[in-house]
Structure 1
Amino acid sequence: MRNLNFFMMAFLVLTIFSCKKAYAPDEAAETMDMTTVALDEAPEELYAEPNTESYAGLEENPFESPLKTPLSTFSIDVDNASYTNIRRFINEGQKVPKDAVRIEEMINFFKYKYLQPDGQHPFAIHTEYSDCPWNKNSRLLKIGLQGKDVPMANLPATNLVFLVDVSGSMDEPNKLPLLKESMKILVKELRNTDRVSIVVYAGSAGVVLEPTSGENKDEIMDAFDDLHAGGSTAGGEGIELAYKLAQENFIKGGNNRVVIATDGDFNVGASTDDDMLKLIEQKRESGVFLTVLGFGMGNYKDSKMEILADKGNGNYAYIDNIQEANRFLGKEFKGSMFAIAKDVKIQIEFNPNHVQAYRLIGYENRKLNAEDFKNDKIDAGELGSGHSVTALYEIIPTGVESDYIPSDLKYTKTQKVSENHSDELATVKFRYKKPDSNKSVEIVNVIADKKMSLENSSPDFKFTTAVSWFGLKLRDSKYIANSSSADIKRLAKSGLQNDDEGYRAEFIRLIDAVN
């Protein structure tokens, strides 16, 4: 037996030795190097956290014929989360997901030199009509609303309930730590008449700060400093408790608002988009407004945040750094936290004598049925103190050729169009409610068929158009013939006036970073 074991061992050694001899040293070294490289690269590729960010799908608004679809109706949108999120992707050298691009939120990130209202209504209306740079036979109609800038001393007392996500997913530098520093910026803006509460949620929800006067800023900031992340995310339970606290401390005639700060990764209880929609629609009836602040990346749930803000009488911002927190929560505190009008709707009727087809750029998830315009039960967007809202329509004038004109129906070719109002391009109507009212007020404006060249248009028109154009490029829109970054940049640079904060210059740098 020993002899057999000896011969078997000898045979094994000889086999290994002959294999080594047959294997060329250079080839072995090369293989070793390749193996080393593969192992060096493996951790980043194999062990990186999967990206689970979610965005609601968007289908671009098509061109419509004013003969078939005479009315275009939509809710205003003052959110700008999409722009700061896009900025985050570009600054990190990542491709921007198409559905993360909401062009209206890109446009409304920027400030425009609209005149203040001087009448009884809380906003002024501004329109401008010029050429479209991405389709040579089209034109652009810009509609701007400028909210009244109410001094802080004249704004009502505030009842703010902060709802802070302290679940395990928030345990990253750009989430809870950034969130806490952002909240401190907001707290500095509070007055003695304002009251603040803090609710947190993880595996369960709880109150960590009972209603406290804005005079006690150190106490409020200390409460934020004491927050730590851990556990699952019972978002629905947190929302229930935050609204309950807001209603128990409701200030009649005041500004009552829940501020949700989260990455949106709800995974316990009511967590689907439909669940969130039903829950927030119920809470909207309480008279409490809503602000949604998004933080983080990788597992960021934009689709949930957008639903909460859109359906909860609210606004929505994505905080990608402390500078953005300072802008939205500090410099624009009044516009972000104090509504001067709610359920603001726009309805436009285009004159078929001058308009062959029209298309609303952006606002895809804010469109309303024509009959919703006068229905006071239908929710729409809010306008904050000093806020501006801008919308663009691309228009194909009558008598020009275009690949985007909708096909004619059999009978509309013979439909007669009235020759009256021959100098009118469109009639635009606005409806809004005061923050504490359930009855809407209507305003009507007529837009003349007077176009100026793009060169002679205002700097704001040029810049708004450039932002929209860049958004269309990022979305790989099927409705643009020219997607030249150089042309977009040239137009944006011609609208660089009114850039005290440098945000327009920053936008031009983003254009440079995208091929």
Structure 2
Amino acid sequence: MKLNKTSFTIAFFVLLLTHTVFGQKITGIVYDDNKTPLPGASVYVKGTPKGTATDFDGKYEIEIDAKHHILVFSFVGFKTKEVNAKGKTVINVTLEQDSAALEEVVVVGMAKMERKSAVGAVAHFVIPNNESYATVKENDFKDVTKNPLSTFSVDVDKASYSNVRRHINNGNLPPTDAVRIEEMINYFNYDYQQPKGDVPFSINTELSTCPWNKTNLLLHVGLQGKDIPMEDLPPSNIVFLLDVSGSMNSPNKLPLLKSSLKLLLENLRPEDRVAIVVYAGNSGLVLPSTSCSEKKTIIDALESLSAGGSTAGGAGLKLAYKVANENFLKKGNNRIIMATDGDFNVGLSSNSEMEQLITSEREKGIAISVLGFGMGNYKDDKMEIIADKGNGNYAYIDNLLEARKVLVSEFGGTLYTIAKDVKFQLEFNPAHVSKYRLVGYENRLLNDEDFEDDTKDAGEIGAGHTVTALYEIIPSKNDEKNDRGLKYQTSELTNQALESNDLITLKLRYKKPDKNKSLLIEQCVKKTPVAINQTSDNFMFSASVAEFGMLLRNSKYLGTTTWESAYNLAKESKGNDEEGYRGELIRLIKSAELLNTTVQE
């Protein structure tokens, strides 16, 4: 018995020592004041350097010890909260929004080269703004009798939303031209039907009252790309083209770039190959094309990179294409993944020169996708051109969670094209439609004759991708005359137009990835709108994102839109939201409203 007591005593003190030294694990969820999980919230142990951040679902896990058991929870625009975790294993926390904290962030944003701590442990670094964006002129309403056709290139870029999010989380409303509404809408996945048969995508439509103008209709058009199992994807020949110039020397650039590409490597198979080309003052091949069975070799090459020098972007592009051509896979996925802040200031720098190079290589079957990083000197306009002309995707990576979304969750859609040169053309029936307006897609508009011209480049759809477009429609009145107001011609409606209940004939052209002749799909949308309370979450949520985008752009077509209406519409149509992206939008709308109020004051 004595031995047993001694053993018990020793075991007790070992357990006590273990608890004191190695700590107690605490888990939980951080919510905002609407009970929406907060991804990316800061959690740290007071008095120690130990900290973590919440994941997509607002969840965290951290250890405390006997001496340090106060947890501090913080997030930009919310009041910091301290909780005594002693004796607890699960702590769920709700943070309250704080307009005063956001006002302080705005002050930081307006200062030059100033560093302040705005909310709890969150520090904000402000850099002189040398960012550049292509000008976006908002689409106007078109008269159907004069413009019966609406033609545009399908677009699946999503960079604008994560860039807008970065601005708001840093305490600033985004520049107007940074807000591309179609990219904000397409950031989110929608619950569309999977395609059937050999067609690579399904077309889904809904028609109802326009939420921001009750006298108008809103048409929702959605494409769903076919999901392809990982094992059925073709082998990849990938070249990482990485900017290691001096402008990349900050935590949210090169270090985040390395971590992001490590996530991508987790999904690549032994039959996939990766090469690494870098550019700064000079360009160079850091790693020749290497099988992904040797991931440690690839990761070691990534870890060896450091930032410095000017930006020889043109030389880097040429070398990357050379390496891609040398390792070309005839039946594979040949793609350059360019990661940069877009600051091309040495070498091949003009947009026209880049377009010529990228277009010629695109015709050979080598695509280029772009990952944007950083702030301050971010060149959105140049990166958008590269991805669009190169049959690739363009994403902005503002944190590791976004890298996970783009390179892991949406892996197939980011890297594998299932249809290219995808174009929409809608013909509106003037018997039922007076005017229409395409919401967004301003830089994707095509001439009507481009629809049947197979030499005209258009957008690509990746495996499993969804693409969504919205049209605001002004219905025709029964007594409305279809008069063009022209001297030498009149507009006579056909019997089919007058007798049909067709609102729109929707046409779509696409090419298979390895073909140069397009295929046509055609279907009609009837003039049978459903009540807005009977529409799907797809319809309502996409409309809420459109309202949010119009508010950020101060659109002249806002109608009855308010911050509150956008917020309520998003909240009502949040749906299942397993990964938390829609909940994040709801929080962003509230943060942007507070920033807007503070700026106006």
Could you tell me the TM-score, scaled by structure 2's length? 0.76
Does residue 410 of the first structure (1) align with residue 480 of the second (2)? Answer: no
Deviations 1:393-440 (A, max 9, x none): 1100001999xxx99533599522123152101111111111111111
| C-alpha distance in 1 between matches for 2:462 and 2:256 | 25
Does residue 146 of the first structure (1) align with residue 224 of the second (2)? Answer: yes
Superposition deviation, residue 43 in structure 1: 6.5
- Greater mean deviation of Cα atoms: 279-288 or 114-123: 279-288
| C-alpha distance in 2 between matches for 1:43 and 1:67 | 54
Deviations 1:439-495 (A, max 9, x none): 111111111111011111001100000001110111111112223111111111111
Deviations 1:129-168 (A, max 9, x none): 0111112211110111000000011111110011000000
Which of the numbers 337, 353, 378 marks the counterpart of 1:275?
A: 353
Contact kept in structure 2, 1:112 and 1:498, CA below 8 Å: no
Letter in 2 for 1:248: E
Which of the numbers 114, 118, 143 marks the counterpart of 1:44?
A: 114
Matches within 5 A, 1:257-276: 257-276=335-354
- Greater mean deviation of Cα atoms: 175-184 or 243-252: 243-252
Q: Which residue does 1:103 correspond to in 2?
A: 181
Q: Which residue does 2:281 correspond to in 1?
A: 203
Which of the numbers 152, 162, 166 marks the counterpart of 2:244?
A: 166
| C-alpha distance in 2 between matches for 1:494 and 1:267 | 47
- Greater mean deviation of Cα atoms: 458-467 or 431-440: 431-440
Matches within 5 A, 1:276-315: 276-315=354-393
Superposition deviation, residue 44 in structure 1: 2.9
| C-alpha distance in 2 between matches for 1:412 and 1:179 | 61
| C-alpha distance in 2 between matches for 1:374 and 1:153 | 35
Contact kept in structure 1, 2:207 and 2:219, CA below 8 Å: yes
3-state SS, counterpart of residue 514 of structure 1: helix
3-state SS, counterpart of residue 541 of structure 2: helix
The structure, 1 or 2, with the larger RCO (C-alpha pairs under 8 Å, 6+ apart) is 1
Superposition deviation, residue 505 in structure 1: 0.7
Q: Which residue does 1:4 correspond to in 2?
A: none
Letter in 1 for 2:414: S
Superposition deviation, residue 49 in structure 1: 4.1
Which of the numbers 420, 432, 440 marks the counterpart of 2:510?
A: 432
3-state SS, counterpart of residue 278 of structure 2: strand
3-state SS, counterpart of residue 320 of structure 1: coil
Does residue 131 of the first structure (1) align with residue 230 of the second (2)? Answer: no
Change (3 A) 1:210 1:400: farther
| C-alpha distance in 2 between matches for 1:450 and 1:413 | 32
Q: Which runs of 5+ in 2 are unaligned?
A: 1-110, 116-124, 594-601
Deviations 1:322-352 (A, max 9, x none): 0000111111111101111111111110100
Deviations 1:61-92 (A, max 9, x none): 11111211111111111110000000011111
3-state SS, counterpart of residue 214 of structure 2: coil
Matches within 5 A, 1:14-33: none
3-state SS, counterpart of residue 358 of structure 1: strand
Superposition deviation, residue 295 in structure 1: 0.2
Equivalenced residues, count: 472
Contact kept in structure 2, 1:113 and 1:498, CA below 8 Å: no
Letter in 1 for 2:279: Y
| C-alpha distance in 2 between matches for 1:401 and 1:231 | 69
Which of the numbers 399, 408, 422 marks the counterpart of 2:477?
A: 399
| C-alpha distance in 1 between matches for 2:126 and 2:529 | 54
Matches within 5 A, 1:160-199: 160-199=238-277
Letter in 2 for 1:465: A
Which of the numbers 471, 484, 492 marks the counterpart of 2:562?
A: 484
Change (3 A) 1:208 1:355: same
Does residue 83 of the first structure (1) align with residue 161 of the second (2)? Answer: yes
Q: Which residue does 1:374 correspond to in 2?
A: 452
| C-alpha distance in 2 between matches for 1:499 and 1:467 | 15
Superposition deviation, residue 498 in structure 1: 3.2
Segments of 4+ in structure 1 off by > 4 A? 411-414
3-state SS, counterpart of residue 364 of structure 2: coil
3-state SS, counterpart of residue 212 of structure 2: coil
Contact kept in structure 2, 1:470 and 1:488, CA below 8 Å: yes
Contact kept in structure 2, 1:65 and 1:356, CA below 8 Å: yes
Which of the numbers 224, 235, 246 marks the counterpart of 2:324?
A: 246
| C-alpha distance in 2 between matches for 1:332 and 1:44 | 37
Change (3 A) 1:43 1:164: closer
Letter in 2 for 1:392: L
Which structure's residues are more often strand, by fraction?
2
Contact kept in structure 1, 2:146 and 2:484, CA below 8 Å: no
| C-alpha distance in 2 between matches for 1:44 and 1:412 | 65
Contact kept in structure 2, 1:67 and 1:412, CA below 8 Å: no
Which of the numbers 546, 553, 576 marks the counterpart of 1:475?
A: 553
Letter in 1 for 2:486: K
Change (3 A) 1:43 1:331: closer
3-state SS, counterpart of residue 360 of structure 2: helix
| C-alpha distance in 2 between matches for 1:475 and 1:316 | 21
3-state SS, counterpart of residue 496 of structure 2: coil
Which of the numbers 492, 508, 511 marks the counterpart of 2:586?
A: 508
Q: Which residue does 1:37 correspond to in 2?
A: none
Q: Which residue does 1:18 correspond to in 2?
A: none
Contact kept in structure 2, 1:355 and 1:397, CA below 8 Å: yes
- Greater mean deviation of Cα atoms: 291-300 or 214-223: 214-223
Query: Please, what is the CA RMSD of the aligned residues?
Result: 2.0
Letter in 2 for 1:184: K
Superposition deviation, residue 375 in structure 1: 1.1
3-state SS, counterpart of residue 306 of structure 2: coil
Q: Which residue does 1:62 correspond to in 2?
A: 140
| C-alpha distance in 2 between matches for 1:401 and 1:80 | 43
Contact kept in structure 2, 1:276 and 1:304, CA below 8 Å: no
Which of the numbers 413, 416, 420 marks the counterpart of 1:342?
A: 420
| C-alpha distance in 1 between matches for 2:548 and 2:301 | 42
Superposition deviation, residue 194 in structure 1: 0.5
Letter in 2 for 1:263: D
| C-alpha distance in 1 between matches for 2:418 and 2:312 | 32
Letter in 1 for 2:356: K
3-state SS, counterpart of residue 396 of structure 1: strand
Superposition deviation, residue 310 in structure 1: 1.0
| C-alpha distance in 2 between matches for 1:151 and 1:43 | 49
Q: Which residue does 1:447 correspond to in 2?
A: 525
Does residue 420 of the first structure (1) align with residue 499 of the second (2)? Answer: no
| C-alpha distance in 2 between matches for 1:505 and 1:53 | 28
| C-alpha distance in 1 between matches for 2:436 and 2:379 | 33
Superposition deviation, residue 42 in structure 1: 8.3
Contact kept in structure 1, 2:113 and 2:128, CA below 8 Å: no
Letter in 2 for 1:95: L
Could you tell me the TM-score, scaled by structure 1's length? 0.89
| C-alpha distance in 2 between matches for 1:401 and 1:49 | 58
Contact kept in structure 2, 1:339 and 1:382, CA below 8 Å: yes
| C-alpha distance in 2 between matches for 1:42 and 1:321 | 24
